[in-house]
Chains A and B, each alone.
Chain A
Amino acid sequence: MTLTDELFAKNTVKLDSKIPDGPVADKWDNYKENMKLVNPNNKRKFKVIVVGTGLAGASAAATLAELGYQVDAFTFHDSARRAHSIAAQGGINGAKNYKGDGDSVHRLFYDTVKGGDFRAREANVHRLAQVSVDIIDQMVAQGVPFAREYGGLLDNRSFGGAQVSRTFYARGQTGQQLLLGAYQQFSRQVGLGGISLYNRSELIDIVVIDGRASGIVVRDLVTGEITSHAAHAVVLATGGYGNAFFLSTNAMACNVTAAWRAHRKGALFANPCYTQIHPTCIPQSDDSQSKLTLMSESLRNDGRVWVPVNPNETRLARDIPEEERDYYLERLYPSFGNLAPRDISSRAAKRLVDKGQGVGPKKNGVYLDFSEAIERLGHDVVQERYGNLFEMYERIAGENPYETPMRIYPASHYTMGGLWVDYELQTNIPGLYAAGEANFSDHGANRLGASALMQGLSDGYFVLPYTIGNGLAPLLNKPMPGIDHPEFKAAEEAARERFNAYLAINGTKSPDYFHRELGKIIWDYCGMERTEEGLKKALELLPALYQEFKTDLRVTGEGDNMNQTLEKAGRVDDFFQLGMLMCRDALDRKESCGGHFRSEYQTDEGEALRDDENYCHVAAWQWGGDPMTPNLNVEPLEFEAVHLATRSYK
């Protein structure tokens, strides 16, 4: 009996992934042929709440409203257009094979499963690859100005982990242009009355009545007012939890609160230890820094990564001769070179910096060098491809990358873990759905570049609008609880008490202080390399710091108007609880896979060593009343179309 079987037998929750029958390539079509439909005239009888207005949320809300459902959309931003999807730079994958270089739905599916180190659910990934082609069509129809060739056709570039060019892009601002496309479609529905928009409103609880998600409780960030909203279905499209590390490439306000509050109400949280550390970010320059900036992976199409061979090197980069440079990605992974996947590139950079070969004033980076590309392509072509990224780098680092190589270092960027969902993107709480980065389903233990935008839009445009209908159809004309139900009142009261409690502690340290300290612990012990000893230590440090948070926090101002310190306190509270779960999950997964690298489990060459016999499963955690005592449930992963293999990029 394998560990997976053993754990499965002990599950406390029945996990039904609802994977449709048939060969993997036919599953989605089979699903659509057999799903229940809601008559167009009946759709308006259903209300759907969508929380978050990034790619997944905006596209889901817009599409559901177009179909005729009543949609209430919530964002904590001032405008739906601000969601963090906007900061994605490099591009979006689509299996169009416009380049004729051998791409296909199957190849994108295979690359994604392999890139995720065989820890994703096959059926979900195949559907993602299938609808990727529709996404490109839909976004062009919305007026997204993707890059084009002189003949007027769409241009593509390559991203890490793929040997074809399938990435569509709009300069270095692809996320911005896709989000604006979805936002415009969303705004049209706001104007037409299909969507009611609640901006500057933050979800602070989920209400579950008789086992079904019945609505949410939100706090109006401007007035502090706490209100309830009831619906037939609730979609959480609330992003990832990369800010648990404090320093990350996520926007400042990105947080785990919505997913965490759902978790506390019974939704399982899957694979929290699968976090992505992106290899190309600007290294930290000083201790007061609040945020790290990503430099798109697309730069690795033309930039070459290297460090000086001599750890005591003092010369400027350009004065170091070729033979004294170590182009380590090209050396270690000749067939993928500088485009090796993110987890692999990040670890390689960390090891060299740890060995003292780092560059820059703090010796905390590696070079990303464009001199060869500038020579080969000319200054103008490089500027056209990466101009805005080069400018951004110069503003932040104060150096001109056309003359001096960029300095880069890995940073927390994306989280593959998230709320457990079935094939319909429904959590184990009926009526509660999770989409985009907020769910766990498509990227396994490592996400490939240009796949986050693809997944967000796939979930929102082409999956949820079908699966939600299938879930709502049986509810037609059945009564549902309204906001006067005692459960809503109780949730409101609990939230009010929680926020008043932060204000009442009156200690000495700000929420930012605690967030920074919390982030340090998670980065040190649950970052790029993890050990049993370190994770155990983190699980001692975190509860102690959390206790201090609960007794020594200081939040100034009041609860009944705009108070960013109070907002932050609530988010940091949830990050603490999540942080403990991340470490626990990382401790329990005694193998290395993708972004989860346990030093004890590696090959002789230092690559991740999976244990398919015992860990080929999803770890889905149930809230156990205290962040330190979660209950483990597992979903075994079965691979029918893809053969389980050691992931090699050599």
Chain B
Amino acid sequence: MSNHLKNITLRIWRQAGPAAKGNFETHVVDEITDEASFLEMLDILNDKLVTEGKEAVVFDHDCREGICGTCSLMIDGQAHGPQRGTATCQLHMRQFKSNDTITIEPWRASAFPIIKDLMVDRSAFDRIIESGGYITADTGGAPDANLIPISKIVADAAMDSAACIGCGACVAACPNGAANLFTGAKIAHLSRLPQGQAERYSRVEAMVETMDERFGSCTNHGECEAACPKEISIDVIALMNKDFRKAKFSNRKDLARK
């Protein structure tokens, strides 16, 4: 059954543009049902702001089903808020109490510059994928799908890391702003599968290099795993590091043969 929360104070980061100076703005939500999602609360606030002639708070969101990875938000200093394994769009107000003060900020990472208010630019993630996060298989030449049996355990493990939604919580939560969990997840997905073997070592070299150009270094804090809405294990980073080290040998040998 639904209850109503009363008197919620929101401290929201407002910033007019990438170079502008930002500040916190305070708004009070008098009453809201606990069935509402966190983003619906922001919708209601925005509707009120627009009706009052004020500019709506800009924030990224889309599917509201926790799968597209568009939503972000640091809520009380936690990426995607207090509920474990949950993206902001799936967070509901029943996680909060009446009279709470909630601080809402954008992802804070130098690789994710702020566009406006709570919205950041995460294109650096796309650059990592473009550099090698794929299997080269042009359309048309694929063999029958059942030609290569893949053990269920392997397929399931690949799926676990392929579940990454690319939201950037791992980077936002990391004190160093590192993207190792994101990059490691894609590498683990592809390198676990037989189809991914041909490019296994060139892939990891290219992706890690692109990652290092844009993001901070991993020092094993583990904050990324705790913040990940898909609960991707930090093991993928170990797997990436192992493959990267191997790549430095095997790729060099392969290249020397040329």
Residues of A within 8 A of B (CB): 59, 62-63, 66, 77-84, 86-87, 96, 98, 134, 136-143, 145-154, 170-171, 173, 175-177, 180, 183-185, 187-188, 190-191, 197, 199, 222, 251-253, 285-286, 288-291, 293-294, 361, 391-392, 395-396, 398, 461-462, 465, 508-513, 554-557, 561-565
- B115 contacts partner chain A, Cβ-Cβ < 8 Å: yes
Is B62 a contact partner of A138 (Cβ separation < 8 A)?
A: no
Query: Within the complex, what minimum Cβ distance (angstroms) separates B95 from chain A?
Result: 10
Is A361 a contact partner of B50 (Cβ separation < 8 A)?
A: no
Is B143 a contact partner of A137 (Cβ separation < 8 A)?
A: yes
- B121 contacts partner chain A, Cβ-Cβ < 8 Å: yes
25 example contacts (A-B, Cβ-Cβ < 8 A) are as follows: A62-B139, A78-B122, A79-B166, A81-B166, A82-B68, A84-B62, A140-B195, A141-B141, A143-B189, A146-B155, A147-B155, A148-B152, A185-B137, A191-B132, A251-B63, A252-B63, A253-B62, A288-B44, A465-B139, A511-B50, A513-B47, A556-B50, A556-B56, A557-B55, A565-B56
Which of these, B32, B152, B163, contacts A173 with CB under 8 Å? B163
Closest residue of B by beta carbon distance from A185 = B134
Contact with A along B6-44 (1 / 0, CB 8 A): 000000000011000000000000001101110110011
- B144 contacts partner chain A, Cβ-Cβ < 8 Å: yes
Query: Within the complex, what minimum Cβ distance (angstroms) separates A61 from chain B?
Result: 11
Is A86 a contact partner of B86 (Cβ separation < 8 A)?
A: no
Query: Within the complex, what minimum Cβ distance (angstroms) separates B195 from chain A?
Result: 5
Is A556 a contact partner of B54 (Cβ separation < 8 A)?
A: yes
Stretch among B98-106, B123-131, B220-228 lining the A interface = B123-131
Interface residues of B in 136-184 (CB under 8 A from A): 136-146, 148-152, 155-156, 158-159, 162-163, 165-166
Q: Decide: A79 near B50, CB < 8 A? Known: A145-B193, A147-B155, A171-B159.
A: no
- B219 contacts partner chain A, Cβ-Cβ < 8 Å: no
Instruction: Report how far A398 CA is from B83 CA in the complex, Å.
Output: 13
Most chain A Cβ neighbours within 10 Å, of B85, B122, B148, B162:
B162
Is A564 a contact partner of B62 (Cβ separation < 8 A)?
A: no
Which of these, B37, B60, B92, contacts A78 with CB under 8 Å? B60
Is B151 a contact partner of A66 (Cβ separation < 8 A)?
A: no
Closest residue of A by beta carbon distance from B131 = A191
Which of these, B39, B140, B146, contacts A154 with CB under 8 Å? B146
Interface residues of B in 59-115 (CB under 8 A from A): 60-70, 83, 85-86, 90-92, 94, 115
> Chain A residues near B139 (CB, 8 Å)?
59, 62-63, 66, 138, 185, 461-462, 465
Most chain A Cβ neighbours within 10 Å, of B40, B64, B67, B135:
B67
- Which interface class (under 10, 10 to 19, 20 to 34, 35 or more) fits B? 35 or more
> Chain A residues near B193 (CB, 8 Å)?
143, 145
Is B92 a contact partner of A396 (Cβ separation < 8 A)?
A: yes
> Chain B residues near A63 (CB, 8 Å)?
138-139
Is B86 a contact partner of A395 (Cβ separation < 8 A)?
A: yes
Is A143 a contact partner of B195 (Cβ separation < 8 A)?
A: yes
Q: Decide: A395 near B90, CB < 8 A? Known: A84-B63, A252-B64.
A: yes
- B236 contacts partner chain A, Cβ-Cβ < 8 Å: no
Which of these, B56, B134, B138, B150, contacts A187 with CB under 8 Å? B134
> Chain B residues near A557 (CB, 8 Å)?
55-56
> Chain B residues near A143 (CB, 8 Å)?
134-135, 158, 189-190, 193, 195-196
- B5 contacts partner chain A, Cβ-Cβ < 8 Å: no
Is B166 a contact partner of A251 (Cβ separation < 8 A)?
A: no
Is A154 a contact partner of B145 (Cβ separation < 8 A)?
A: yes
Closest residue of B by beta carbon distance from A461 = B139
Is A286 a contact partner of B151 (Cβ separation < 8 A)?
A: no
Instruction: Report how far A283 CA is from B85 CA in the complex, Å.
Output: 23
Is B55 a contact partner of A556 (Cβ separation < 8 A)?
A: yes
Instruction: Report how far A466 CA is from B58 CA in the complex, Å.
Output: 42
Closest residue of A by beta carbon distance from B164 = A180
> Chain A residues near B143 (CB, 8 Å)?
137, 141
- B119 contacts partner chain A, Cβ-Cβ < 8 Å: yes
> Chain A residues near B56 (CB, 8 Å)?
556-557, 564-565
Closest residue of A by beta carbon distance from B87 = A395
Instruction: Report how far A395 CA is from B138 CA in the complex, Å.
Output: 40
Residues of B within 8 A of A (CB): 1-2, 16-17, 32-33, 35-37, 39-40, 43-44, 46-47, 49-51, 53-56, 58, 60-70, 83, 85-86, 90-92, 94, 115-116, 119, 121-123, 125-126, 129-146, 148-152, 155-156, 158-159, 162-163, 165-166, 189-190, 193, 195-196
Instruction: Report how far A517 CA is from B26 CA in the complex, Å.
Output: 30
Is A151 a contact partner of B149 (Cβ separation < 8 A)?
A: yes
> Chain B residues near A82 (CB, 8 Å)?
62-63, 68-70
Instruction: Report how far A63 CA is from B32 CA in the complex, Å.
Output: 48
Query: Within the complex, what minimum Cβ distance (angstroms) separates B129 from chain A?
Result: 5
Instruction: Report how far A512 CA is from B48 CA in the complex, Å.
Output: 11
Which of these, A141, A145, A177, A187, contacts B129 with CB under 8 Å? A187
Instruction: Report how far A80 CA is from B119 CA in the complex, Å.
Output: 17
Instruction: Report how far A80 CA is from B123 CA in the complex, Å.
Output: 10
Is A152 a contact partner of B2 (Cβ separation < 8 A)?
A: no
Which of these, B36, B83, B166, contacts A289 with CB under 8 Å? B36
> Chain A residues near B136 (CB, 8 Å)?
188
Which of these, A141, A251, A398, A555, contacts B195 with CB under 8 Å? A141
Is A184 a contact partner of B129 (Cβ separation < 8 A)?
A: yes
Which of these, A173, A461, A465, A564, contacts B67 with CB under 8 Å? A173
Is A191 a contact partner of B130 (Cβ separation < 8 A)?
A: yes
Is A148 a contact partner of B2 (Cβ separation < 8 A)?
A: no
Instruction: Report how far A286 CA is from B92 CA in the complex, Å.
Output: 13
Query: Within the complex, what minimum Cβ distance (angstroms) separates B225 from chain A?
Result: 18
Instruction: Report how far A361 CA is from B85 CA in the complex, Å.
Output: 28
Instruction: Report how far A251 CA is from B35 CA in the complex, Å.
Output: 19
Is A142 a contact partner of B137 (Cβ separation < 8 A)?
A: yes
Query: Within the complex, what minimum Cβ distance (angstroms) separates B67 from chain A?
Result: 5
Is A78 a contact partner of B70 (Cβ separation < 8 A)?
A: yes
Which of these, A80, A86, A288, contacts B43 with CB under 8 Å? A288
> Chain B residues near A62 (CB, 8 Å)?
139
Q: Decide: A251 near B68, CB < 8 A? Known: A78-B123, A562-B119.
A: yes
Instruction: Report how far A170 CA is from B51 CA in the complex, Å.
Output: 44
Is A66 a contact partner of B133 (Cβ separation < 8 A)?
A: no
Most chain A Cβ neighbours within 10 Å, of B49, B129, B135, B144:
B129
Is B122 a contact partner of A177 (Cβ separation < 8 A)?
A: no
Most chain A Cβ neighbours within 10 Å, of B68, B136, B159:
B68
Instruction: Report how far A462 CA is from B142 CA in the complex, Å.
Output: 13
Query: Within the complex, what minimum Cβ distance (angstroms) separates A403 from chain B?
Result: 16
Which of these, B44, B65, B135, B189, contacts A87 with CB under 8 Å? B65
Instruction: Report how far A201 CA is from B234 CA in the complex, Å.
Output: 35
Is A398 a contact partner of B94 (Cβ separation < 8 A)?
A: yes
Is A86 a contact partner of B68 (Cβ separation < 8 A)?
A: yes
Given contacts A191-B130, A396-B90, 16 further A-B contacts (CB under 8 A): A63-B139, A77-B70, A78-B60, A81-B69, A87-B67, A141-B135, A145-B155, A145-B162, A150-B151, A183-B129, A253-B62, A288-B36, A508-B51, A512-B43, A556-B53, A556-B54
